[in-house]
Amino acid sequence: MKSKKRATVALSGYSTEKIISLYPSSDAQYVITILSKLIDRLLIELYHTGYRRFLCGMHEGFEQLAAKRIIKMRKANGYDDIELIAVLTSPHKIVVSSIITESFYPNILHQVDTIVYLNIQQKETLNDYLFDHADMLCCFQADTIFKGEAGETRTLSKRFRNAGRCVNDIVPM
């Protein structure tokens, strides 16, 4: 089953540990608070340009934080036409981070609209699914800091760029 690509954003990014490591002299909770505000602004901008569907691998870190912000935005601000789709490789894929999810709902999956489980027997990867079902990638990465590391977000970002699709980077300062 193919999702509609139109107005769909794929979310990808670093783990909490990697995000925090970018700011060694800052308090971890402060870093997450600032990143949350950046994500909120980006989501509002994306919404006003027509994006309503968000695909998320729900990995611990940026992806869970973005999912949390989407759910909060939808409930608090009346953006009830936003759709959050969790794309998982396994029913047990979610990892909980004490920093990002400590005050969040006990089970984030109960807050999404749809859960898609990938067929790992057919070698369907998360990156393949996100690339095939979204027309924009929104990611948090720092290529200049972690040069040489072949991370999933970096690989997906290059794939979207090479196909001429929009990539919206949230770049750490």
Question: Which two three-digit tokens encode residue 47?
Answer: 């919404």
Q: How many residues are present in the chain? A: 173
Q: Give the count of domains, the chain.
A: 1
**Residue 145: per-residue pLDDT:** 45
Helix axes 62-77, 28-48, angle to 10 degrees: 60
Q: How far apart are CA 79 and CA 70, in angstroms?
A: 9
Q: Which amino acid, residue 135?
A: D
Q: Report yes or no on 80 lying in a domain.
A: yes
pLDDT at residue 55, rounded to an integer: 95
Question: How high is the pLDDT of residue 122?
Answer: 66
Domain of 63, CATH number, reads 3.40.50.450
Residue 2 lies in a domain: no
3 assigned to some structural domain:
no
The reply to whether 1 falls in a domain is: no
Picking from 75, 71, 7, 64, the residue whose alpha carbon sits closest to that of residue 35 is 64
Domain that holds residue 119: 8-170
pTM over 0.85: no
Residue 90 has what pLDDT?
A: 67
Residue 65, domain member (yes or no): yes
Low-confidence residues of the chain, pLDDT below 50?
1-3, 93, 96-106, 144-148, 173
Alpha carbon distance 82, 71 (integer Å): 9
